[in-house]
Structure 1
């Protein structure tokens, strides 16, 4: 559970290896055709640009001494053409790769989102939302350029190096060897810092994730922050997290900066040696001034691909940290899923059986143990008891939001672990404690789980739960736009909309978890009339702390001590004077 804190770094479950990058190649292969075109254009652009020093050498050594004006104009025009061709090809290539990069982003992000939709509740129980969100948005953005332009640029820079080396050796072998003499020094420095550099960027990734998690938590809880005047304290926490991020960022950037610093200095030293050796040590007949100018130009061009490759390496190191996080998310097992050969659950009557059910959120800490009971179709069952006893756990297991530790749950005699999740949940109406409202219209929120519902059916569901009256008070009625989480609505209004959404599905099994906890007494009485009609013929499980709302249920189960401590009608349990009696009496005295 430590990962569910904004100030705890997320350690990777497994170290990065080249197989992760091979996995990323799947997305690259989908863009193979445009990337090949971009590579060809890049090669042509580079070849055109590399011809410029040869033209310069010829002009300095031949054309200018001969004072051939027309020839000079011709060579100048040719150099202009090479520049224009290089720029045009580079521009087209850039546009192609921009589109490729965005397509790769879209594919990775869709795979992540699809996988996150399938992950069980436990995954979200164990992680802050901010640490999940940053992987889908920030990390995918960070790797897209490496997986698109990075691959093309890497190949291009290698080709550039080969071309430049060929041109250099064609001009002068000895000066070419001087240019190559700096490579061993550069490679030695790269080998020394590569491991430290990767670790530094992993630390940046951790601190960025922590900072994002706290930001998301703070925004979600801003109301509580202001109520308790925690602004200054929270600013201190944020400052500390930002300082940690800044510290790790500076460390990582220092490693990055070391590479261009090394390349720039080596290029300067090599260029100086070319002039020194070429002018003082070699025979002027073999090494003309034009040759020295051409070689100094090639020296700069030779070390530019080296610098570009080192920058690509930097970007790769950064991307590795993000790829590790992305693939760690994609590798999260979907523990609650359809088993091979899972059957469609046929239309159910509503019989529910718990057969020696045992469940634990964490190994060794059972919430329920050997729980057994049978519910007949159409019965209404109330689950009551102390907070944390396992009431919500019972209904979550019926919906198969978690896998059982032991035992079976049967619906109409069918083991729910053997049927498809869609066929199971599509026949259940579930209203959880969190009345989540999505951004959009009220109409869209009510029909969220049943897109084929007509407006008349939506209005009928709203009337049943007494939501129609307050909806029509809005100027736009059912077309009123609401914000995420329904911030423009009261908590009671949000619950009524959530109720309408659940009832519109016309489920055979209805689960209401504190469904009326935020509704005033008058509305609750009206709602109860509609509920009484709705519950007829449906199996229903109702969790409520206000016991007055469940008095008329067919059976009341008191959940305690990892099982059902008492079970019976309201009158039977009152006469028994046990757990339920004491709880009911205590609530009446408080009222």
Structure 2
């Protein structure tokens, strides 16, 4: 995780960010050239104005005045041209850089361990991937190149001022230390303030996203007033963080404006007296210095403002690089490809815990043969779903070996391993998209005709066609337009069209109506036919046909056998579970 260096500006972080411009090197150089050209052109207009006053107006030379006016017009047109090119391509560069960073970040986030997401707030990650990366673009569009352009402009102006009149230059330069000191203090204060702003934005996003997602719980338990109060507190902190930045701005800019006005007043006073007494300073030079002083102080004030933008972008970059530097990946050093797996599965002395010193799976060993259906039952928290997570390598085991087709799953590439395993979860997740896209997950190799044929095979075609627009019906966010049973049917079809060698049903019928259960049971019989299947179920009546049943308790396998064999065990764990569940169903 990237850490705040504590400096007003982190050059190491800045160099790392600039590395993303290498792909667009020509554009980068052109923008830099435009910045240099703008700084050179900036000093010409006051110079031409001075020449026009001293040489043309005083001598009443109309042709010479027209010449200077045309020259000033040409300089103005060039300034407009370079400023247009500078603004457009600086922004273009910024947008392309953040596009590349966002793509890299999203790709990285899709490879993180599930454990990373177990401990990370969704709203905070969304802030990093959207808001913070967008803020980074301002480094290029409003920060870096603008500051470079202003610094070059100031250097050129300072040099020209010394060339024109070192006396007037010293008057203006005497005021500069005050503004420079104020700017430095301002920069350091704004860095801290912007860090707090980004923290509060992330907190606000996280809170809002979680409450919107869980709005049903909020309303069921009438927590509206409580959540409103908490939101108000978080929003108040967010406001205070922004007000602090406003406070610093309201102090700095009046000081800078006052210093600029004092400098201009001193120039007019000294230069005017010298010109009136016939000294070396002319009226044209005084006029030019008024413009030069404004051009010198304005960029200095703007640099402070643009440094805020740059600083905010750097804070955002620090946070984004913090995720990019996160080491939370499942090792993918396997080189073997798992294709057309036979489906044998072996767990040997496997131990695992989500947290250190808290084992969830305790020295488990079992075999699943090709084409066999194995059921896993047990109380909540026994470790049933954890076995599925480990088989898919969502988490790394602490010790032991998990094998598919007699090869350690670590020897396979993660993509080929997971492509051979399909999982139907109890809580089906559907994207805000059409049913077709939720089934194929935008896999271009799966045609609509193949999906329809598969739907007919497992008996869900009629249900889908009954919906508006059929397979092109948009289920909205998380499939909210469908019932839980309908979402399960979509999940079964999604698993079926992927043609897996190993099928996992995790509590797939635990919370659906009888009609949907009958359809799902028919679909289950079809998609488990001829392939290795692992079924996790609370409802024991759904697993009577399983070839083998593993009974788990507190992370261990306490019994193993067929339905009949387990019922025959006196005082058996499975027998007790079955009898209690049977009596409950009878009572209902």
Q: Deviations over 1:491-539 (max 9, x none)?
A: 1111110110011112111111111234322332243234224323321
> What is the Cα deviation at residue 486 of structure 1?
1.4
Runs of 5+ consecutive residues of structure 2 not aligned to the other structure: none
User: 1:314 corresponds to which residue?
Assistant: 308
Q: Does 1:532 align with 2:520?
A: no
Mean CA deviation greater in 25-34 or 222-231: 222-231
Q: Name the counterpart of 1:438.
A: 431
Instruction: Judge conservation of contact 2:458–2:523 (CA < 8 Å) in 1.
Output: yes
Q: Residue 448 of structure 2 is aligned with which of 443, 450, 455?
A: 455
Measured after TM superposition, the shift of residue 469 of structure 1 is: 1.6
2:78 corresponds to: 85
Query: 3-state SS of the aligned residue for 1:118?
Result: coil
- Written as runs of structure 1 = structure 2, the 5 A alignment for 1:391-406 is 391-406=384-399
Tell whether 2:539 aligns with 1:557. no
User: Does structure 2 retain, via aligned residues, the 8 Å contact 1:462–1:497?
Assistant: no
Which structure 2 residues correspond to residues 47-446 of structure 1 after superposition, within 5 A?
A: 47-280=40-273, 284-339=278-333, 342-446=335-439
| Partner in structure 2 of residue 585 of structure 1 | 579
* Residue aligned with 1:540, SS: strand
Whether the 8 Å contact between 2:142 and 2:310 is mirrored in structure 1 is no
Matched, 1:471 2:464: yes
Q: Distance in 2 between matches of 1:47 and 1:20?
A: 30
Offset from partner CA, 1:82-127 (integer Å, 9 cap, x none): 2222112211322222322221121111111111111111111111
Alpha-carbon separation, structure 2, partners of 1:14 and 1:34: 30
Residues of 2 paired with 1:330 and 1:312: CA distance? 26
- C-alpha separation in 1, matches of 2:352 and 2:274: 84
Q: Measure the CA separation in 2 of the matches of 1:86 and 1:47.
A: 10
- Asked whether the 8 Å contact 1:335–1:403 carries over to 2, the reply is no
SS in 1 for 2:125: helix
SS at match of 2:268: helix
The corresponding residue for 1:547 is 540
Query: Structure 1-normalised TM-score?
Result: 0.93
Distance in 2 of aligned mates of 1:241 and 1:498: 38
RMSD: 2.1
Cα contact 1:344–1:420 (8 A) shared by 2: yes
- 1:35-75 C-alpha deviation (Å, 9 max, x unpaired): 22233233333433321111221222232222223332332
Deviation at 1:149, TM superposition (A): 4.6
Structure 1's unaligned 5+ residue stretches are 1-10
When structure 1 is superposed on structure 2, of 32-41 and 135-144 the one drifting more is 32-41
SS in 1 for 2:359: strand
Report the Cα offset of residue 12 of structure 1. Answer: 6.5
Residue 415 of structure 1: how far off its partner (Å):
0.6
What displacement does 1:193 show? 4.7
Indicate how the Cα distance of structure 1 residues 13 and 51 shifts in structure 2: closer, same or farther if over 3 A, else same: closer
String of CA shifts for 1:2-43, please: whole Å, max 9, x gaps. xxxxxxxxx965647432222111112222212222332333
Mapped partners of 1:536, 1:356: distance in 2: 29
Alpha-carbon distance between aligned partners in 1 of 2:444 and 2:67, rounded to the nearest angstrom: 71
User: Following superposition of structure 1 onto structure 2, how do residues 467-546 of structure 1 map, counting pairs within 5 Å?
Assistant: 467-546=460-539
Q: CA deviation at 1:421?
A: 0.4
Task: Supply the distance in 2 between the matched residues of 1:408 and 1:168 (Cα, whole angstroms).
Answer: 77
What is the rounded CA distance, in whole Å, between the counterparts of 1:212 and 1:517 in structure 2? 33
